[in-house]
Structure 1
Amino acid sequence: MKNIWPELSYKDGKATYETLQLYTQVLGKIKLAILPWANHSRNTTLHITTFGLSTQTIPYQDFNFQIDLDFVAHQLRISTSKGETMQFALYNLSVSDFYKQVFDLLHELNIDVNIMTTPSEIENPIPFEKDEIHATYNPIHANNLHHALLCIQSVLMIFRKDFTGKASPIHFFWGGFDLSMAFFSGEKAPHHPGKIPGLPDWVLQDAFSHELMDFGFWSGTETVQEPSFYCYIYPEPELFHAGEILPEQAYYNKEIGQFLLPYSAVQESDHPNELLLDFLKSAYKLGSNLANWSDDLYTADKNYKNEYN
C-alpha cells in the first residue's frame, strides 16, 4: 500500500502552526462562550473533517451554526441551519485580521457572542485583536498537517476500539494545538497541582480528576522541536519513565514527563500505521501494568508484541 503520510517539519512549518493555533483558539473560545461546560472541557474541542477542522454544531437562539477551517479551499467558513454561508480566505491574515473578520461575519449572521481575547496555554500572550505578529498561512504546510491528522485519527480509531472503559472522543485541543484521546481506569486521581500558563488550575483539576492515560500528537513545541506522538499517564507510576516501549525510536522525555515518538519515524516507515500502533499499544501496556489497571479494560492484544518486523 502506498504511504500517504505527508512529511512535516517543525522548523519549516512553525510560523504557520503558531498562527493556526491562534486561529483555532478564536473558534474554541466561541464554543466556550456559548455552550454549557462539560467535564474535561470536551464540548469546547475542535474535530477533524475531510477538509480541515470544525467546531461542529453550535446551538444559538432558534438556529444552529458551525465554523470550519478549510485547509483544502484555504478559507474560514461559517454556515447556519437557516441555509446561510459566509467565508473568507486565510492567506496573509494576521491573527488580528482573522479575529475581526470572524466576528464581522458572526455579526452579519446575527450571532452576538463575546469571548476572552487573551490566548490560552501560551506564554506572553498577545490579545487576538492586537496580534499583528502571527500572520503566516502557508497552504502547503496547512494541507500537509491536515492530511497527517487524518492519518493519525484513523490509527487512533483502531487503537480505541478495544478499550472497554471510559474513553474520550478523538478530538483537537486548541489550547495545546494537539490531537488527543484519553483512556480512564475508573479510579479517582490525586488532586492535580495545575500551574500551566494561561490555564486556570480548576480546568486542569477537572481534566485530571480521574486516573488516565493520554495519547496524542502535536506539531512541535519550543521544548520538543519536531512533530511528535506522545503518551503520558496520571498519576505516573514510579517506574514508568524507566520502561521500554516500541518502536526503538520512542523515548521518555523527562522534561515534560511523556513518552515521545517522532512523527518522522512513522512517516518514513514502510508500515506507518503498524509502527504507530506499536507505540500506542506498548505504552498502554507499560502504563496500565505499572498502575495496576484492570486487565479487562483492553480486550485485544493483551500479550502485544511487534509482529511485523
Structure 2
Amino acid sequence: MLATLLAEITPPSGAWPDLPFEAWRETAATLHLMTQIVGKVRLRHTPALNHAWTGTLYVGARGLTTGPMFDSGRVFEIRFDFVDHFLIVEASDGARWSASLRPQPIADFFAEFIAGLESLSLPSKINGAPNELPDPIPFREDRVHAAYDADYAHRFWKALLAIDRVLQNFRAAFIGKSSPVHFFWGSFDLAATRFSGRRAPPHPAVPHLPLAVVRDAYSHEVSSAGFWPGGGGIDYPAFYSYAYPAPEGFSSAPVEPDGAFFSEALQEFILPYDSVRTAPSPEAALMRFLQSTYLAAAECGQWDRAALERGYDPSGQTLV
C-alpha cells in the first residue's frame, strides 16, 4: 500500500543533495532572516488564516514564493530564485523589480528590498524585528548576518523540492482538515499538518513567540511533520514529527525507517536527512517516517481514522 502513496513520485533531477549544516550555517541564518522580511510582506497583504498560515511561503519551480498577494486592485508576487539567485517582485500590471541574492548585511538587503517595493508603489511598512529568534536584531540595524553561499542556497532549494513532492503525496491521502505544504519563515522549516477535528487544551507558552499565535496554531489536535535544515537544537538537517497534545504511548510507538528516534529534549520524532538521502529509495524512506509517525499519533490518540483517511482500510496499516 505504501507503493500507492508513492506511485506518482518520480525523483527530480539532482534531488536529495548533500546538505551538511556546518558548511552553510551562516548562509542559513542570513537566508532565514531574508525569508522573514519577505514573509512579513505577505502577512500584510494576505487575508488572515487560522493556525498562522497567513504568511507562509511555498516551494516553487525555482525557489520559494509568496504566491499571489493583493494591494488596491493589483496582484503581486515575491519570489526567491535559487537558480539564478535573484529576489524578484512582479505585479499584474507588468511592474517588476529584482535584486541579486549575494553576500551583504541584512540591513542592506532590507533597505534595498523596501526601496524596491516603494518603487512599485507597494506599501512596505512591516514589523522590523525578527520573530522566533533569541536576541533578535532589528533588520535595519543587522550588520552581523551577511553570508550568502549560492551553491548551498541552491542545494537547500533542491532538497525542499524533493521533500515537498513527498509531503504533497502524503497530504493527498488525508480527507480531514490539513494544512497546505508550506514553509514557515519564523521557524525556517517546511511542514504539513493533519487535524483530528477535536479541540486541544490551551498550548503552553513558547519562547520568542507571542502566546496568541501559539494558541491559534494549536487550537485543535494535530499530527505535524516537516523538515529543518539544522539548528533549533539539532545541528544537522532532519525530518521531525510530533503530536499535540501528545497522547499516552506516543513517544514509545514503533516508527520507521531505521534511524528514526524519539527526542526527549524536543519531544518529537526525528529522522536525520542523511538517513533518507542515502536510502535506496529516499522517497519511500521518508514516506515510511511520515506514515508511521502519523499512525502513532492517530492510533494512540484514538482519531476517527475511517472518517479522516481516503480509502481507509481497517485491516491495514496504511492508506489504499
State which drifts further: 207-216 or 88-97: 88-97
Pair 1:274–1:300, CA change in 2 (3 A): farther
The aligned counterpart of 2:234 is: 224
CA deviation string 1:83-133 (max 9, x = no partner):
011111111121111111110101111112211111000001000001111
Deviation (angstroms), 1:222: 4.6
The aligned counterpart of 1:97 is: 108
Deviation (angstroms), 1:248: 1.4
Pair 1:3–1:55, CA change in 2 (3 A): closer
The aligned counterpart of 1:281 is: 291
Letter in 1 for 2:223: M
Task: Provide the rounded CA distance (Å) in 1 between the counterparts of 2:206 and 2:86.
Answer: 35
Letter in 1 for 2:176: G
Kindly tell me the number of residue pairs found equivalent between the two proteins: 304
List alignment gaps of at least 5 residues for structure 2. Answer: 1-10
Deviation (angstroms), 1:301: 6.9
The aligned counterpart of 2:185 is: 174
Specify the SS of the correspondent of 1:230.
strand
Specify the SS of the correspondent of 2:53.
helix
Match among 232, 237, 241 for residue 247 of structure 2: 237
With normalisation by structure 1, the TM-score equals 0.95
Match among 10, 17, 20 for residue 9 of structure 1: 20
Deviation (angstroms), 1:40: 1.1
Contact 1:3 1:272 in 2 (8 A): no
The 5-angstrom pairing of residues 5-44 of structure 1 reads: 5-44=16-55
The aligned counterpart of 1:270 is: 280
Match among 251, 255, 258 for residue 265 of structure 2: 255
Task: Provide the rounded CA distance (Å) in 2 between the counterparts of 1:109 and 1:177.
Answer: 28
Match among 212, 220, 241 for residue 202 of structure 1: 212
The aligned counterpart of 2:123 is: 112
CA RMSD, Structure 1 to Structure 2 (Å): 1.4
The aligned counterpart of 1:246 is: 256
Contact 1:54 1:69 in 2 (8 A): yes
Letter in 2 for 1:249: G
Residue 138 (str. 1) matches residue 132 (str. 2): no
The aligned counterpart of 2:225 is: 215
Specify the SS of the correspondent of 2:190.
strand
Task: Provide the rounded CA distance (Å) in 1 between the counterparts of 2:98 and 2:124.
Answer: 18
Contact 2:221 2:245 in 1 (8 A): yes
Contact 1:194 1:202 in 2 (8 A): no
List alignment gaps of at least 5 residues for structure 1. Answer: none
Task: Provide the rounded CA distance (Å) in 2 between the counterparts of 1:88 and 1:231.
Answer: 36
Contact 1:34 1:113 in 2 (8 A): no
Residue 83 (str. 1) matches residue 94 (str. 2): yes
Contact 1:162 1:300 in 2 (8 A): no
With normalisation by structure 2, the TM-score equals 0.92
Specify the SS of the correspondent of 1:140.
helix
CA deviation string 1:179-223 (max 9, x = no partner):
0110000000001112321x2100110010000100100101151
CA deviation string 1:137-188 (max 9, x = no partner):
1011000000000100111111111111100000000000000110000000
Specify the SS of the correspondent of 1:191.
coil
Specify the SS of the correspondent of 1:277.
helix
Deviation (angstroms), 1:62: 2.4
Residue 46 (str. 1) matches residue 57 (str. 2): yes
Residue 67 (str. 1) matches residue 78 (str. 2): yes
Contact 2:248 2:301 in 1 (8 A): no
